[in-house]
């Protein structure tokens, strides 16, 4: 039978607890569908950094390239200065592995509470495609006269036709495969970012010609935020740059019920991809077995889809839906589920 | 009796209709409080641009500097390419008049519907202070190999200690005056924008020492968006840069009930300031007398406060609240108010 090599990065805080349940569920799906998953553990994260001073060795990046896929819990440690782990591990992996797509399916599952009035699961069902290797995320910039009253700090967004086009085309292809309205919305800020957003818009328009059945749409990022809250049903697929993507995917995570359910992937369609829950390492819940593993399980479904096991991915998704429909999980929030982390994992696995 | 000179910019689309009602109400407040408002009309906007090719003559900017305050309806025309009027009028005024504060009070008024579940007026009551003259809004950037497959587009964010500090100190001063928790939240993205957001954070920390009674807080922009939807009651005053400010003020406008009620000001504390509703020119509603003028009336209250007529400002605010409490306005959306634009203006004025 087929087998796949998975690099496992449980990470910090509650990361190991949610990854444990994610592994449990995708292994059950693998068994059911007659393939094997071989996991290799990597202890990257704040704990390792505190102990060794090492963030992410080059040799490890080379090892990752040989895996079929990667599965991440959470990276983040309260004692490490902001930026070190984010730039040293999370962003570095995206750049070095050229995971140029950040994929965020946004779906309101049954029995999951949204903070929005009058919105049902059918109203919140979209995918956000975020460019993941360019823009203002590249770290270009500097200081002049740092720490004086005359200080200047710059931060530069660099965008290439190459990088924008592969992202936009990925989004068009994805839109074509979805059942909804076949609408792709470009999110930018053309009236202000007259260079960066202009390149995005022109590239989008060129690509659109190859997808005549898809309605191409443009909405400013500020309006996208408004609509996500007022009319999420207007969206099918949204494509956007790295920074706007960061903002709107987190807003979207909230409207779909929060960090307990939101998951995503950092995808290199020609290389190795990494899947993860959107939530952080949640230090205050660590070790209590009360964190919600559903987001990580959902990330597991995305992982299975990515390695080509679409049927197993669908099985996991259905198992999550059945677990939610059972009414046994009282809330999506840590500590309020009415079940432990382990019990939620067992419940989902029981439907496989 | 005292008198003030007001430059009036009704602008495009429904701008003139809402400004008409705004003027009606602030004149009533002036009469009640024994001062005079002298209005001078300026026909800036898309209509003028289409006719004359002129956007904003330098001489007009010089004229504006002599006014006590400016009052804007809306600028925006469906036949004008995005960016021309925004950069040529709206942003140009902010830069040339050094209106370095964009002030956005966010308040849920009685009988106004928010798209959020279980949130009452007491839960949505904050002010957002947006830096209005720096950051990625300055238009720095360019193209390399435009319109080729090798194109590169850059967009640069430039931030100065001078510009950040005056904004941050304005926000601290404002927080001190408010009744709430005396909490000021800095919104940035320190883990990624390690130059720009770092300058903001250091400047914020230095200023904070002069305001020992105010709790200084830091939240990443993506988390701010989540909290605005999930826990808006956590915010008192938020201070942020130009781009993040653009995004979070629009999201906040939506949670307070949308463009029918949201207003703001472009403020130069040492010069001339401009007040405006947040909504656009709404071409499709133009000339129908069905657009909601409340946001423009609220902007009128901010204008009165700015010229030093705090009592009149409070009167307008109270009149708006009474009009809303009367239950006569069925909805905040254009065409669904149950009253015409004129009637809503009359209703508010009747309480003065
Ligand atoms: C941790 C941080 C660097 C990261 C980002 O900003 O991209 C996170 O917010 C995300 O969205 O994956
Ligand atoms: C019209 C546009 C240039 C402007 C901005 O982005 O600042 C608007 O969205 C605003 O928030 O006042």
A29 and A6, same structural domain? yes
CB contact under 8 A, B82 and A191: yes
A180 and A65, same structural domain? no
Q: What pLDDT score does A317 carry?
A: 98
**Total length of chain A:** 352
Span B94-113, pLDDT tens digits: 999 999 999 999 999 999 99
- Residue B172's domain spans which residues? 114-256
Span A224-256, pLDDT tens digits: 999 999 999 999 999 999 999 999 999 999 999
Residue A177 has pLDDT above 90, yes or no: yes
Residue nearest to atom 1 of ligand 2 (CA): B86
CB B187 within 8 A of CB B239: yes
Distance B294 CA to ligand 2 centre (A): 20
Q: What is the DSSP letter of A90?
A: I
Interface test with B, best of A114, A133, A191 (most B CBs within 10 A): A191
Residue B201 has pLDDT above 90, yes or no: yes
Tell me if A24 is assigned to some domain. Answer: yes
CB contact under 8 A, B191 and A83: yes
CATH number at residue A175: 3.40.718.10
B164 and B197, same structural domain? yes
Q: What pLDDT score does B82 carry?
A: 84
Q: What pLDDT score does B91 carry?
A: 97
Q: What pLDDT score does A170 carry?
A: 98
A-B Cβ pairs (cutoff 8 Å, strict): 200
Residue B83 has pLDDT above 90, yes or no: no
A240 and A139, same structural domain? yes
Residue B211 has pLDDT above 90, yes or no: yes
Distance A197 CA to ligand 2 centre (A): 15
Tell me if A267 is assigned to some domain. Answer: no
Nearest CA in chain B to A146: B199
Q: How far is A297 from chain B (nearest CA, A)?
A: 22
Residue B179 has pLDDT above 90, yes or no: no
Nearest CA in chain A to B92: A192
Q: What pLDDT score does B335 carry?
A: 95
Q: Over range A201-229, report the average pLDDT.
A: 98
What is the maximum span of chain A, computed from C-alpha positions, in angstroms? 66
* Alpha carbon A15 to its chain's center: 15
Look at the pTM and tell me if it is higher than 0.95: yes
B120 and B79, same structural domain? no
Contacts of A157 in chain B (CB under 8 A): 136, 141, 154-157
Share of chain A above pLDDT 70, in %: 100
Q: Is A296 exposed, middle or buried (0-12, 13-18, 19+ CB in 10 A)?
A: buried
Residue nearest to atom 3 of ligand 2 (CA): B86
- Asked if the C-beta of A157 comes within 8 angstroms of chain B's C-beta atoms, the answer is yes
- Asked if the C-beta of B332 comes within 8 angstroms of chain A's C-beta atoms, the answer is no
Distance in angstroms (rounded) separating the CA atoms of residues B229 and B59: 44
Q: How far is A224 from chain B (nearest CA, A)?
A: 9
Q: Over range A19-28, report the average pLDDT.
A: 98
Q: What pLDDT score does A83 carry?
A: 87
Nearest CA in chain B to A231: B115
Residue A159 has pLDDT above 90, yes or no: yes
Share of chain B above pLDDT 70, in %: 100
CB contact under 8 A, A161 and B148: yes
Helical packing angle, B310-325 and B294-306, nearest 10°: 160
A52 and A121, same structural domain? no
A175 and A146, same structural domain? yes
Output the average pLDDT for chain B: 97
Interface test with A, best of B135, B137, B222, B231 (most A CBs within 10 A): B222
CB contact under 8 A, A154 and B196: yes
Tell me if B178 is assigned to some domain. Answer: yes
Residue B273 has pLDDT above 90, yes or no: yes
Tell me if B106 is assigned to some domain. Answer: no
Distance in angstroms (rounded) separating the CA atoms of residues B191 and B309: 43
Q: How far is B200 from chain A (nearest CA, A)?
A: 9
Contacts of A115 in chain B (CB under 8 A): 116-117, 229-230
Choose the closest CB to B156 out of A139, A154, A162.
Answer: A154
Span A78-123, pLDDT tens digits: 999 888 999 999 999 999 999 999 999 999 999 999 999 999 999 9
Tell me if A198 is assigned to some domain. Answer: yes
CB contact under 8 A, A157 and B152: no
Span B279-336, pLDDT tens digits: 999 999 999 999 999 999 999 999 999 999 999 999 999 999 999 999 999 999 999 9
Residue A220 has pLDDT above 90, yes or no: yes
Q: What is the DSSP letter of A13?
A: T
Query: Is the minimum distance from the CB of B91 to ligand 2 under 6 angstroms?
Result: yes
Last residue of a domain, one of B229, B256, B283: B256
Distance A278 CA to ligand 2 centre (A): 30
Give bridge partners of residue A144 from the DSSP assignment.
A152
A150 and A250, same structural domain? yes
CB contact under 8 A, B83 and A194: yes
Q: Over range B26-34, report the average pLDDT.
A: 98
Q: What pLDDT score does B266 carry?
A: 98
The residues in A 287-326 lying below 8 A from B, measured between CB atoms, are none
Give the pocket of ligand 1 (CB within 6 Å): A 86, 90-91, 246; B 191-192, 222
Output the average pLDDT for chain A: 97
Last residue of a domain, one of A256, A288, A303: A256
The distance in angstroms from the start CA to the end CA of chain A is: 19
Ligand 1 atom nearest residue A280's Cα: 1
Tokens coding A282 = 């949640």
Query: Is the minimum distance from the CB of B90 to ligand 2 under 6 angstroms?
Result: yes
Q: How far is A29 from chain B (nearest CA, A)?
A: 33
A222 and A139, same structural domain? yes
Q: What pLDDT score does A181 carry?
A: 80
Task: Name residue, tokens 């007659």.
Answer: A34
Tell me if B107 is assigned to some domain. Answer: no
Residue B181 has pLDDT above 90, yes or no: no
A277 and A251, same structural domain? no
Q: How far is B37 from chain A (nearest CA, A)?
A: 34
Ligand 1 atom nearest residue A245's Cα: 11
Nearest CA in chain B to A230: B115
Q: What does DSSP say about strands A274-277 and A263-267: parallel, antiparallel, or unpaired?
A: antiparallel
Residue nearest to atom 11 of ligand 1 (CA): A246
Q: How far is A3 from chain B (nearest CA, A)?
A: 37
Tell me if A220 is assigned to some domain. Answer: yes
Q: What is the DSSP letter of A87?
A: I
Encode B38-66: b = buried (16+ Cβ within 10 Å), e = exposed.
eeeebebbbbbbeeeeebbeeebeeebee
Last residue of a domain, one of A256, A289, A309: A256
CB contact under 8 A, B193 and A223: no
Q: What pLDDT score does A55 carry?
A: 96
A299 and A339, same structural domain? yes
Distance in angstroms (rounded) separating the CA atoms of residues B342 and B329: 12
Span B118-134, pLDDT tens digits: 999 999 999 999 999 99
Residue B214 has pLDDT above 90, yes or no: yes
For a mutational test of ligand 1's pocket, the pick from A246, A265, A274, A281, i.e. the residue with the most ligand atoms closer than 8 A to its C-beta, is A246
pLDDT band at A272 (very low <50, low <70, confident <90, very high): very high
B43 and B6, same structural domain? yes
How many domains are contained in chain B?
2
Q: What pLDDT score does A144 carry?
A: 98
The residues in A 165-194 lying below 8 A from B, measured between CB atoms, are 165, 189-194
Tell me if B188 is assigned to some domain. Answer: yes
- Asked if the C-beta of A63 comes within 8 angstroms of chain B's C-beta atoms, the answer is no
């Amino acid at each position: 039978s087929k087998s796949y090599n998975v690099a496992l990065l449980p990470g910090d805080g509650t990361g190991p607890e949610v990854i444990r349940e994610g592994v449990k569920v995708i292994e059950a799906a693998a068994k059911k569908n007659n393939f094997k998953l071989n996991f290799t553990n990597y202890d990257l994260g704040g704990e390792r950094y505190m102990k060794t001073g090492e963030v992410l060795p080059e040799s490890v990046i080379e090892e990752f390239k040989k895996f079929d896929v990667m599965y991440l819990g959470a990276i983040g440690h309260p004692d490490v200065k902001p930026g070190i782990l984010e730039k040293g591990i999370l962003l570095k992996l995206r750049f070095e592995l050229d995971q140029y797509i950040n994929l965020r399916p946004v779906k309101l599952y049954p029995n999951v509470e949204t903070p929005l009035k009058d919105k049902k699961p059918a109203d919140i069902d979209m995918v956000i495609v975020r460019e993941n290797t360019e823009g203002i995320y590249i770290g270009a910039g500097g200081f002049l006269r740092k720490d004086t009253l005359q200080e200047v700090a710059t931060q530069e967004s660099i965008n290439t036709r190459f990088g924008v086009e592969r992202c936009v085309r990925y989004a068009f292809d994805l839109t074509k495969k979805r059942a909804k309205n076949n609408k792709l919305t470009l999110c930018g800020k053309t009236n202000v970012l007259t260079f960066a957003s202009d390149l995005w818009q022109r590239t989008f328009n060129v690509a659109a010609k190859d997808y005549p059945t898809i309605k191409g749409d443009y909405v400013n990022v500020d309006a996208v935020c408004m609509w996500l809250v007022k009319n999420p049903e207007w969206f099918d697929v949204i494509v956007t740059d790295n920074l706007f993507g960061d903002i709107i995917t987190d807003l979207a995570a909230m409207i779909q019920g929060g960090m307990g359910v939101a998951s995503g992937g950092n995808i290199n369609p020609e290389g190795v991809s990494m899947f993860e829950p959107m939530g952080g390492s949640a230090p205050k819940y660590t070790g209590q077995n009360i964190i919600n593993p559903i987001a990580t399980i959902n990330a597991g479904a995305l992982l299975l889809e990515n390695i080509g096991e679409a049927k197993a991915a669908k099985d996991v998704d259905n198992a999550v839906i059945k677990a939610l429909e059972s009414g046994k999980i009282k809330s999506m929030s840590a500590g309020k589920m009415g079940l432990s982390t382990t019990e939620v994992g067992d419940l989902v696995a029981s439907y496989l």
